[in-house]
């Protein structure tokens, strides 16, 4: 039932995406005890592409991206990230986790480490970068997200918007090929949403491949190359922002949009 997301994209986005898909999900199923979260999902993401996933709660959008970096284990189907397949092979799993970065709804910064250490911990421990080099990289990223002065502080001392920007810097420090955003602004007070969205928009403009699960429709309209609407574990409709928001085809899409917009 799910559309082959990729074919539509090449046609609709006028050659902006590269040929090779960097993330491929083929007929993926995921079950939780008695509940099927993903039902035969076919999903591809091209390089430098920004895909925004929308849908009602329980539709499986979070499960979708959490399967990509193995925070959830898919039960059936295949997932391939940048040529490496996601199986029970521990080496593959670690490699895929290195090449993907994730930003969580609740930031999940490490409260007992300083901001600097939070950002540097990935490169130091996983890529075995020497301390000075990692810290220089961290400062560069903190400047990029516009909070270099907070480097020596602790997460509890920062506002939500600042914490989330640190989380983005922390993910970027691993120089990932794909960035995964799981409702990055849902836990923020309204006045701080924009500062985070601005950072994400900049990242998109610089050509980072991204999959963003969000409720921010304005953001989707502005930045997405493709919008994917999910409901009840399936991909229901795919298209450019213009297609999905202005001219939805499926009933469920129309219903969802009428409730949100």
Partner 1 sequence: MSSLPSAPTKPPLWRDIRVLRWAFQLLVLALVIAFVYWLYGNYQTNVARSSIPTDLRFLDNPANFTMPGNDLDQSQPVRDAFVQGFYNTLRVSIVGILLTTVLGTLVGIARLSKNFMVRTFATAYVELIRNIPLLLLLTFMNLAVILQTFPRIENAWLPLNLFVISNRGIAIPWFTGSGGILLAVLASALVLTWIVVKIRGRVSDINGKPARGLTWGLPTFIVVMVAGWIVLGYDWVLPFVDDRATSGGLRLDPSFFALLVTLVVYTSSHVAEIVRGSIQAVVKGQSEAADALALSGGQKMRLVILPQAFRIAMPALGNQFLNLIKNSSLGATISYFELTQIAQITVGNGSPAVPAFTLTLLVYLMISLVTSVIVNIVNRRLALVER
Partner 2 sequence: MIWMKRNLFRSVGDSLLTVVFGSVAVYVLWGVLQFVFVTGRWDIIQVNLKLLLVGRFPEELLWLVSGSIMALAFWVSAAATSSQSTKEARPGFGRRIWEAFQRFGLLAATGLLLIAVSGDRASLVMGAMILGSIILGQLVGFARRTLSPLNALPGWIWHPLLAVAPIVLVALTLSQASLDLWGGFLINFYIAIISIVLSFPFGILLALGRKSTLPIVRLISTTYIELIRGAPLFVLLLLAGVALEFFVPSSMAPGQIARAVTVFTLFTAAYVAEIVRGGLQSIPAGQTEAGKALGLNTTKITTLVTLPQALRNVIPAQIGQFISLFKDTTLAGVALNVLDLLNVGTAITAQDDFLGQGLIYETLAFVALLFWVGSYVMSRESQRIEKKLGVGQR
SS (H, E, C) 193-248: HHHHHHHHHHHHHCCCEEEEECCCHHHHHHHCCEEEEEECCEEEEEECHHHHHHCC
Among residues 89 and 251, whose Cβ is nearest to partner 2?
Answer: 89
Q: Which does 19 bind (CB under 5 to 8 A by kind): partner 1, partner 2, none?
A: partner 1
Q: How many CA atoms lie within 13 A of 170 on its CB side?
A: 26
Count of other CB atoms within 10 angstroms of residue 39: 18
Partner from partner 1, partner 2, none contacting 32, C-beta within 5 to 8 A by type: none
Q: How far is residue 159 CA from its own chain's centroid?
A: 22
By the rule CB under 8 A, 126 interacts with partner 2? yes
Number of residues that bind partner 1 (CB under 8 A): 19
Residue 170 sits in the site that holds partner 2 (CB under 8 A): yes
Q: Closest by alpha carbon to 6, among 49, 53, 43, 39? A: 43
Is residue 15 classed as helix, strand or coil in its secondary structure? coil
By CB under 8 A, tell whether 71 contacts partner 2: yes
The binder of 26, among partner 1, partner 2, none, by C-beta within 5 to 8 A per type, is partner 1
Contact 226, 240 (CB under 8 A): yes
Among 2, 69, 185, 240, binds partner 2 (CB under 8 A): 69
DSSP SS3 for 260 = helix
Contact set for partner 1, span 73-92 (CB under 8 A): 78, 80, 83, 85, 87-92
Measured CA distances, 89 to 70, 85, 116, 147, 213 (Å): 11, 9, 32, 38, 27
Least distance to partner 1, CB of residue 181, Å: 25
235 and 5 in contact (C-beta within 8 Å)? Answer: yes
Residue 97: name its binding partner from partner 2, partner 1, none (Cβ under 5 to 8 Å by kind).
partner 2
Span 80-109, contacts to partner 2 by CB under 8 A: 94, 97-98, 100-102, 104, 106, 108-109
The listed partner (partner 2, partner 1, none) that binds 104, CB under 5 to 8 Å by sort, is partner 2
Non-local CB neighbours of 22 within 8 Å, separated by 6+ positions: 45, 46, 47, 81, 82, 177, 178, 209
Is residue 24 part of the contact set for partner 1 (CB under 8 A)? yes
Residues lying near partner 1 in the complex (CB under 8 A) are found at 6-7, 10, 19-21, 24, 26, 78, 80, 83, 85, 87-93
Residues lying near partner 2 in the complex (CB under 8 A) are found at 69-71, 94, 97-98, 100-102, 104, 106, 108-112, 121-122, 125-126, 156-157, 170-171, 174
């Amino acid at each position: 039932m799910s559309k082959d997301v990729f074919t539509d994209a090449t046609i609709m986005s006028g050659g902006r995406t590269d040929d090779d898909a960097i993330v491929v999900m083929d007929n993926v199923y995921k079950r939780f005890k008695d509940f099927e979260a993903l039902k035969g999902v076919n999903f591809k993401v091209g390089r430098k592409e920004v895909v925004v996933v929308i849908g009602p709660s329980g539709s499986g959008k979070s499960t979708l991206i959490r399967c990509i970096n193995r925070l959830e284990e898919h039960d059936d189907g295949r997932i391939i990230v940048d040529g490496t397949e996601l199986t029970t092979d521990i080496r593959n799993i670690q490699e895929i986790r290195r090449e993907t970065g994730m930003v969580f709804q609740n930031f999940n910064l490490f409260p007992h480490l300083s901001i600097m250490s939070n950002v540097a911990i990935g490169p130091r421990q996983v890529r075995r970068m020497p301390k000075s080099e990692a810290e220089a990289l961290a400062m560069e990223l903190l400047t990029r997200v516009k909070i270099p002065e907070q480097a020596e502080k602790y997460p509890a001392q920062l506002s939500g918007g600042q914490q989330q920007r640190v989380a983005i810097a922390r993910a970027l420090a691993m120089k990932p090929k794909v960035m995964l955003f799981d409702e990055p602004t849902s836990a923020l007070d309204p006045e701080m949403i924009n500062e985070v969205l601005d950072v994400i928009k900049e990242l998109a403009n610089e050509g980072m491949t991204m999959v963003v699960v969000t409720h921010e429709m304005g953001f989707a309209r502005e930045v997405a190359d493709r919008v994917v609407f999910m409901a009840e574990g399936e991909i229901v409709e795919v298209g450019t922002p213009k297609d999905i928001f202005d001219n939805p085809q499926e009933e469920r899409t129309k219903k969802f949009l009428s409730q949100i917009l």
